[in-house]
Structure 1
Amino acid sequence: MNRPAWLLFVLVSVLWGIPYFLIKIAIDDLSPLLVVAGRCAIGAAALVPVALLRGSLGALRGRLGPVAGLAAVHIVGPFLLITYGETHISSSLTGILIAIEPVVIALLMANAEPITGIRVAGLVAGFLGVVVLVGLDVSGDSWGLIGAGMVLLAALSYAYATKLVQQRLSDVPPDALTAATTTISTVVLLPFAVFRLPSPGAVGADSWLALAGLGLLCTALALLAFYRLIALAGSNKAGLVTYVNPVVAALLGVTLLQEPVGVGTVAGFLLIVAGCWLSTRPTRTPSEALAPVT
């Protein structure tokens, strides 16, 4: 990756390690549905003026179908799954489970980059990491298992969304794409969220600030950077931001929310990281493999 891609990679890695911590704070006083709808609405309010000023919305003409599909699989679905999932599991475990995303991307992109023996080993390691996490961290807790399942479904949805952007929407300017997806998501969610409004004075300032951070930083800015990263580096490399996301999420959860991290959490995370690394290694052609080292 070139320098702009690396800078975007670091930015997205940090911005998408923060939301699990902010979600945990926001759902103390706000319903998960309202958190997701509010997050989308704040993101759209920030992004639409940017797209209008840049005159990039014309690039969406004739793309309503894939853009609406992207809104469903990259925002509405996974945001709801993660937020409701965090009512049952810790923010640090949520971030670690999301790290399975590069393994899923490797499977989805198998036609473009064949699954080699090393990649199979990576896929197996990643799967074992999830088994260890779920088996040791939430074993015997039915609601914990449900929460973990929601987060894993969100990871699958994120992986498909990454592939969708690269294959069908990589030529759309990121500001137009993010403005459209957040607006569509807001329109879909707000009619339901109005029935979940809190009573006056029932929400603390920390919850409102967390929601603002989710909308401005973790949605608007992060999506802009991520879609641009996909265009520069491709879906496989862009998906590797989940190497760093869990570290940020775990550090915030442990230091600020006093969430426990057991042996199972560490072991599962290491297996997932190893699986991601192996399953996303670039495939060399026979001529490249036989080329002399200089």
Structure 2
Amino acid sequence: MATVVAVLLGQRDRISPTSLAGLAIGLFGVAAILGSDLRATGFLPLAQLVLVVVGYALGPVILARHLSDLPAVNVIAVSLGLCASAYAPVAAAQWPRMIPATGVLSSVAALALVCTAVAFLLFFALIAEIGPVRATVITYINPAVAALLAW
């Protein structure tokens, strides 16, 4: 999807036949993980999935085109703040009756720091180095990692 968005927005990255084959294999892998019975999931989860895919595709292109001259930490802080404000009503509606255990809170903090903040910094550096289209290739392994961890 990032390749399609980048080309539509005038990005000058070239798309080779090997890249297109990789995209097709990645799409097939995601379809294999989701399964063939899409009726079981319902419309809303599928719509949310499409929204995430479009976000993954647009984000690096917007970053490379319009935000590359800004400090990465500032861009990350604003984007995470906007995300937190979008999730705040859902979190408030599902507020737990008890404070989670220290281990749970520590795990969430570690995920937030390592898997989000540090990962964003590395991803922004990767986008600056190789461009938005090639940088999104790293996200192709996400479904495989998720499937292995869930197994």
Do both proteins adopt the same fold according to a TM-score greater than 0.5, normalized to the shorter chain?
Answer: yes
In the aligned structure 2, how far is the partner of 1:114 from the partner of 1:230? Answer: 12
Partner of 1:228: 125
In the aligned structure 2, how far is the partner of 1:247 from the partner of 1:132? Answer: 12
Listed as ranges, the gaps of 5+ residues in structure 2 are none
Q: 1:206 to 1:141 in 2, by over 3 A?
A: farther
Listed as ranges, the gaps of 5+ residues in structure 1 are 1-103, 255-294
The offset of 1:106, in angstroms, is 1.0
Partner of 1:107: 4
Partner of 1:200: 98
Partner of 2:76: 178
Q: 1:212 to 1:144 in 2, by over 3 A?
A: farther
Larger Rg: 1
**What are the Cα deviations for residues 160-180 of structure 1, in whole angstroms up to 9, with x where unaligned?**
111100100011111121122
Instruction: Pick from 75, 88, 95 the counterpart of residue 190 of structure 1.
Output: 88
Partner of 2:55: 157
Amino acid at match of 1:133: A
Partner of 1:37: none
Partner of 2:114: 217
Partner of 1:129: 28
In the aligned structure 2, how far is the partner of 1:209 from the partner of 1:141? Answer: 37
**What are the Cα deviations for residues 200-246 of structure 1, in whole angstroms up to 9, with x where unaligned?**
25x45554344223321222111122112211221012111123333
Instruction: Pick from 122, 128, 136 the counterpart of residue 239 of structure 1.
Output: 136
Partner of 1:261: none
What is the aligned-residue RMSD (CA, Å)? 3.4
8 Å Cα contact 2:2-2:136 kept in structure 1: yes
The offset of 1:154, in angstroms, is 0.6
8 Å Cα contact 2:60-2:132 kept in structure 1: yes
**Which has the larger displacement, 136-145 or 176-185?**
136-145
Per the alignment, in what secondary structure is the counterpart of residue 244 of structure 1?
Answer: helix
Per the alignment, in what secondary structure is the counterpart of residue 70 of structure 2?
Answer: coil
In the aligned structure 1, how far is the partner of 2:62 from the partner of 2:13? Answer: 18
In the aligned structure 1, how far is the partner of 2:136 from the partner of 2:38? Answer: 31
**What are the Cα deviations for residues 180-216 of structure 1, in whole angstroms up to 9, with x where unaligned?**
2223333444355333211025x45554344223321
Identical positions, percent? 26
Q: 1:133 to 1:214 in 2, by over 3 A?
A: same
Per the alignment, in what secondary structure is the counterpart of residue 109 of structure 1?
Answer: helix
**Which has the larger displacement, 222-231 or 106-115?**
106-115
Per the alignment, in what secondary structure is the counterpart of residue 171 of structure 1?
Answer: coil
Q: 1:131 to 1:173 in 2, by over 3 A?
A: closer
In the aligned structure 1, how far is the partner of 2:16 from the partner of 2:56? Answer: 25
Q: 1:169 to 1:124 in 2, by over 3 A?
A: closer
In the aligned structure 2, how far is the partner of 1:113 from the partner of 1:204? Answer: 50
TM-score normalised to structure 2 length: 0.74
In the aligned structure 2, how far is the partner of 1:144 from the partner of 1:215? Answer: 29
In the aligned structure 1, how far is the partner of 2:113 from the partner of 2:13? Answer: 38
